[in-house]
Structure formats: C-alpha cells, structure tokens
Amino acid sequence: MDLQTLTYIVVGLSFVLYIGIAIWSKASSTGEFYVAGKGVPPLANGMATAADWMSAASFISMAGLIAFLGYGGSVYLMGWTGGYVLLAMLLAPYLRKYGKFTVPEFIGDRYYSRTARLVAVVCLIFISFTYVAGQMRGVGIVFSRFLEVELLTGLIIGMGIVFIYAVLGGMKGITYTQVAQYCVLILAYTVPAVFIAMQLTGSPIPQVAFGSTVGGSDTFLLDKLDQIVQDLGFTQYTAAYPEGGKSMIDMFCITLALMVGTAGLPHVIVRFFTVPRVRDARASAGWALLFIALLYTVAPAVGSMARYNLTTTVQTGEIGSPDGNLLYAERPDWMERWEATGLLSFEDKNGDGRIQYYNDNNPAFQEQASEWGWQGNELSVDRDIMVLANPEIAGLPNWVIALVAAGGIAAALSTAAGLLLVISSGISHDLLKGAVTPGISEKSELMAGRIAVAVAILIAGYLGYNPPGFVAQVVAFAFGLAASSLFPVILMGIFSKKINREGAIAGMLTGLAFTMGYIILYKGVFIEPVIDNVPENWLFGISPEGIGAVGMVLNFIVATLISKITAAPPDHIQHMVEDIRTPRVTTAAE
C-alpha cells in the first residue's frame, strides 16, 4: 500500500476514535464542561495532562532544536520538564484543594478583586492564543506534507475535528480524547526511535543508543557526530557555551523562564481541577511526569540520530571533501517530498550540481570552502521537519511514517483543545459570569462557553494560517509571558498572606508590560524591531527568549513593595490562605 493511502487510513481511524470518545463523553453541565465533573481518575488524568502539555512544540520542534543546537537545545528539556515538577510540587495540590474552575477565578477570590480577575483573564487569553496559533500551524504543516493537501485545507480539517470534541464534550470530552491522543503520540514518537536506534547502534532502546557506539565501531554516536559537524564548520555538537553561542546567564534565564512559564500555563494548571480529591491531584502529577518522561528521555537520542542521518545523507563521500557531496539529481525521494512543502530547499550557488551543506558563517571554514569552489551553503532545512522526516530519511516502512503523521496531529490537537477550553472558560465563566452578568443561568453559561470555543477555533485557525510574526520568531514568548504575569501571583497567593490586591494587580501589569515591551523592542510584533537583536544589545546579555525570568522577578518585587505600603488583605483572605496550605484530615472512605 502506498504511503499516502496508508496515511489517510491511519489518520482517519484516529479521528474516528477521537470523535467517538467525544460523543460518548458529552458534557451536560458546566462542571463537566469546565473540569470534567471533577471525576477523572488519577491515571487517566495523568495521561491526559501529558498529552495536553506535550504540544506540537514537544513532538515536532524540540528534537529539531536539539538536532541543530546540540547542547544548547538542552534548555528546552530542562525548562519544560523542570517546570512540570515545579507545578506538581508548588501549585497543583493547593489549587485543587481550593476547588474552583479556573485560574482567574482563584486570582479574583484570593485577591478579593474583580479587577485582578479581569487582568488575569487578559493574560490568559493572550498566552493561550499565542500558543494555540502555533498548534494550528503545526496541524496544517503535518496535513500539507502527509495528506498532500493545501495548508488551508489541513487547517480546516483540524479545526473541524477540534470543534466537534471541544464544543460537544468540553473538558470531559477533551480529557478522554487526550488519553487516546497520548497513546497515539507516544507510539508515534518512540517506535521510529527504536527502529533508527537499532539501525545505527544495534540497541533497541533509544536512551541507551544515545550513549552507544555507531555501526559496530569503537566510536560513540556523539563523538562521531561531533567530528562530522566540525568537519563541516559547525559548532561542536556537545560543546557547552561555545564561542558565538548562548552565554551561561542567557541559558540560565531561558531555562528559568521556560520552567516557571510552564508552571504558570493555565491550560496545564486546569487539569488538576478535574480529579476528585487533593491526593488524586498529587497522584495524577506523578503519573503525568512518568508519561512525559517516556518522550522527553527519548528526545535527545531522536535529535542526535536525526542530525547524523541528515548529514550523512547529504555527504555521500568523505565528510567535508569537495567531491563528497550528494548530487542534487540523485537526491532521495524524501527530499523531493519535503521540498514541495517549502520547508527544505536547495540553491545551486556554484552550478556544480552537488549539494554543499556546511556552515558558511564560520570564517575558518569559509577559506577552505572557497578553495574548493564553494560559494555558500546551498541546503536550507527547517528544524521543525526533523522528527517528521526522520523515519523517511532512515528508510523506515510506510506504516511507521503514517504513524508519525498521526502522532504529530495528535500532539497539536490535544494541546489546541486544552487551550481553546481555557479561552472559553476565561470568556464565559470569568468574564461573562464573573463580571458582566453574574446572575446568568448554568444553561446559558454552558451555551456561552460553547459559542466561545467555536469563535476561538475560528480565530486560532486564522492565526495558524496567518501567524503574527512573534509566533514564528519567539518560541518561548508564551512561556515568558506566563512566567512574568501569572506564575508569581499564583505562587504568592498560596504561600504569602501579606500580598494584597493592589500588589497583585501591579505585579501582573509590570511583569506583562516589561516582558512584552522587551520582546517588541528586539523581535517586533506586527512592527519592525526597534533594536538589533544581537547579544551585545541585550539587557545583561539576556535574550528575548529568556527575559520572562527578569519579568518574573520584577513582578515579585513590585507586588511585595506595593503590598507593604497599602492595606493588608482582610482577615478572611488570610485565613483562606492558611486553609489552602493546611492538609485536610481524610476519612477511611476517602
């Protein structure tokens, strides 16, 4: 069976499964729509949390970043994984004990302020739309490559699927759909990794293959990869803080911003409102970390093996020699297929018909390249294709390639659904019921939530087709924004009785304005950047990707100072903070 037909079958069957689950688990109340009736078992919630958290960025982009950045890509592994640990330990059990539907609702109650709740809603919507645009874009890319349809067609199909199970099932439908999506995406990620690990090292365990020798030789995979990329003028793959790379302070700040940003992402936090008891929140956090580890411990191996396979495909002879390059006319089929998407391209700058793939920004290698008659790097590879293209590069069976397509779509759709529901709850529950019409009935609120999801899907689809500049330019923007705005007020709301509403509002606005302003200055958002985005111009040497860490510190400082010079929180709020942190005595039945 040809690849396209097989892909249609595999992806189609996964869609039938998702829609069937949504029909089976249709939400009939606001409790089921927002938090799945607080009745999800810890094991299922852990799996759903893992699927919700491991978006297209984790499935598609992370190993691609590691493939091209090497050691530098470890910031994403450390930041995103560490952020989940931070969330599970510091926030999840306490927020579940509080027991409300949404993060803005907690902030509004804890800081006894409708204004604080509305500011939190604005932050939540902006973070979620930024994030969901990337997910919908990922859906369109996967469809355009594997189903060979236009990007817009792929987006419309993805929007339709999400519409059915998000609008119909709400959080209840999304939760059980995400359980199925986790199974699909983890199989799609690990099965190709097992095949390729066997090919390169003889070990079927990718984590072991990462530290094994290549092809029965005495050379380890990472040593071989270091040699290959250096022979082509690239930075040593395993080098820490290489010249021209990221500095230690920037690595630290990016990792911190991703970590606390992950802990502040509202679509992840809301998952811990769906379990019956506080202890179930802790148990589901443990399960989720286990399920997340299955992918995240494989990602470094996938990235290194993908970079190795790509380079050795292009370099058919001796690495770095003038006659060792692949003839463009003899390029493999996978290159032709990805060229059609525009994510891989070749420009024959010296007219010799061979693909020169090297680092033409390295002055030392430029001299050697010019002696060979090379006039610049001729191959452009989008890093986001590495996980999707890896099975094709390795020549794996068509069913594995089809499975990867289904996994990429599952990863994007699972997170998109969670984000869209957060947007819906922010509009219908926090904005409409919490501020505009407090007396709205449950039936009307449920209808408003479904309408909000439908509208959000249309906007997300548009942003996926016409993404704002910052979506493509600043991968960590949503995380930096969450780190600088929501995380500090949630953390202080749980662990400090002294932070009042004035401090919380001022802190959120300060962190939000500083982080957004910094990114606009260096990256541009719908406008041209004001300052050149180069390390010598950065504040303290911190890139826009890591500036959320500074915004977070400013949030803490401003909130604390303002709280000291204004009235203390009322006594009942201070008692509420104490109660949130006090373990509840459970009965034998619980």
Q: Provide the token pair at 499.
A: 């932070």
Q: Does any domain span residue 387?
A: no
pLDDT-based confidence at 459, cuts 50/70/90? confident
Q: Model confidence at 589, in pLDDT bands (50, 70, 90)?
A: very low
Range of 464's domain? 3-306+393-581
pLDDT of residue 441: 74
Q: Which residue bears the tokens 């297209």?
A: 56
The residue that leads in pLDDT, 143 or 328, is 328
pLDDT in tens, 237-296: 888 776 666 788 888 998 899 888 887 777 777 777 777 777 777 788 888 888 888 888
> What is the residue whose two structure tokens read 């892909």?
7
Q: What are 325's strand-pairing partners?
A: 315
Q: Determine how many CB atoms are found less than 10 A away from the CB of residue 132.
A: 31
Q: How far apart are CA 349 and CA 332, in angstroms?
A: 20
Q: Number of folded domains in the chain?
A: 1
User: Of residues 496 and 316, which shows the higher confidence score?
Assistant: 496
Q: What is the pTM of this model?
A: 0.81
Strongest mean pLDDT among 66-80, 188-202, 436-450, 451-465: 188-202
Which is more confidently placed, 228 or 527? 228
In a domain, 300, yes or no: yes
User: Looking at the predicted structure, is the pLDDT value of residue 52 above 90?
Assistant: no
CA distances (Å), origin 309, targets 337, 346, 392, 508: 17, 18, 10, 46
Query: What does the pLDDT average to over 371-375?
Result: 84
DSSP assignment of 279-299: HHHHHHHHHHHHHHHHHHTTH
**Does 208 fall in a domain?**
yes
Average pLDDT over the chain, rounded to an integer? 80
C-beta of residue 103 within 8 angstroms of C-beta of residue 275: no
CB 535 within 8 A of CB 541: yes
DSSP string, 524-568: -SSS--SS--SGGGSGGG--TTTTHHHHHHHHHHHHHHHHHHSPP
| CA gap 256, 551 in Å, rounded | 11
The pLDDT of residue 111: 92
Q: Residues 104-130: pLDDT tens digits? A: 888 888 999 889 988 988 888 878 777
What amino acid is encoded at 584 in this protein? R
Highest mean pLDDT: which range of 199-213, 384-398, 551-565: 551-565
Classify 150 as helix, strand or coil.
coil
Question: Looking at residue 471, what is its pLDDT?
Answer: 39
Neighbours of 362 (CB within 10 A): 17
Backbone angles phi, psi at 348, to 5 degrees: -80, 85
User: From CA 192, how far away is CA 209, in angstroms rounded?
Assistant: 13
CB–CB of 374/141 below 8 Å? no
Phi-psi region of 277 (alpha: psi -120 to 50; beta: other; left: phi over 0): beta
Q: Is residue 383 one of the residues assigned to a domain? A: no
Mean pLDDT of 172-187: 81
pLDDT in tens, 282-294: 788 888 888 888 8
Asked if 446 and 88 touch (Cβ cutoff 8 Å), the reply is no
Task: Tell me the sheet residues that pair with 188.
Answer: none
Distance of CA 232 to the CA centre of its chain: 31
pLDDT reported for residue 587:
46
Is 274 in a helix, a strand, or coil? coil
pLDDT band for 383, please (50, 70, 90 cuts): confident
Gyration radius (Cα) of the chain, Å: 25
Residue 5 in 3-state DSSP?
A: helix
CB 522 within 8 Å of CB 233: no
| Domain CATH code at residue 7 | 1.20.1730.10
Residue 366 lies in a domain: no
pLDDT of residue 100: 65
In a domain, 224, yes or no: yes
What are the backbone angles phi and psi of residue 327, rounded to the nearest 5°? Answer: -70, 130
Q: What is the pLDDT of residue 195?
A: 92
User: How much is the pLDDT for 588?
Assistant: 43
Q: What is the distance in angstroms between the CA of the first residue and the CA of the last residue of the chain? A: 53
DSSP string of 333-400, one letter each residue: HHHHHHHTTTSEEE--SSSSSB---S-TT-HHHHHHHHHTT--S--EEE-GGGHHHHHHHHTT--HHH
For residues 223 and 205, give the distance between their C-alpha atoms in angstroms, rounded to a whole number.
19
What pLDDT, in 10s, does the model give residues 345-370?
888 888 888 888 888 888 878 888 88
- Label residue 506 by pLDDT band (50, 70, 90): very high
Q: What is the spatial distance between Cα 178 and Cα 183, in angstroms, rounded to a whole number?
A: 9
CB 207 within 8 Å of CB 301:
yes
Among 28-32, 387-391, 460-464, 534-538, the range with the most confident prediction by mean pLDDT is: 387-391
In terms of Cβ atoms closer than 10 Å to its own Cβ (0-12, 13-18, 19+), residue 124 is buried
Domain assignment present for residue 428? The answer is: yes
What gap in Å lies between CA 435 and CA 102, rounded to an integer? 14
Domain-embedded: residue 370: no
Residue 315 DSSP SS3: strand
The pLDDT tens digits for 512-558 are: 999 988 888 887 665 677 787 777 888 888 988 889 999 999 999 99
| Chain centre to alpha carbon of residue 468 | 17
Tokens for 487, please give them: 């995380």
d(CA 284, CA 270): 13
Which pLDDT band, with edges at 50, 70 and 90, does 395 fall under?
A: confident
Residue 81 token pair: 């994984």
215 C-beta neighbours (distance < 10 Å), count: 11
Arithmetic mean of pLDDT, 184-194: 90
Cα–Cα distance for residue pair 13/17, rounded to 1 Å: 6
Residue 222 predicted with pLDDT over 80: yes
Percentage of the chain surpassing pLDDT 70? Answer: 87
* CB-neighbour burial class of residue 318 (10 A; exposed 0-12, middle 13-18, buried 19+): exposed
347 token code pair: 């420009």
CA 111 to chain centre: 30
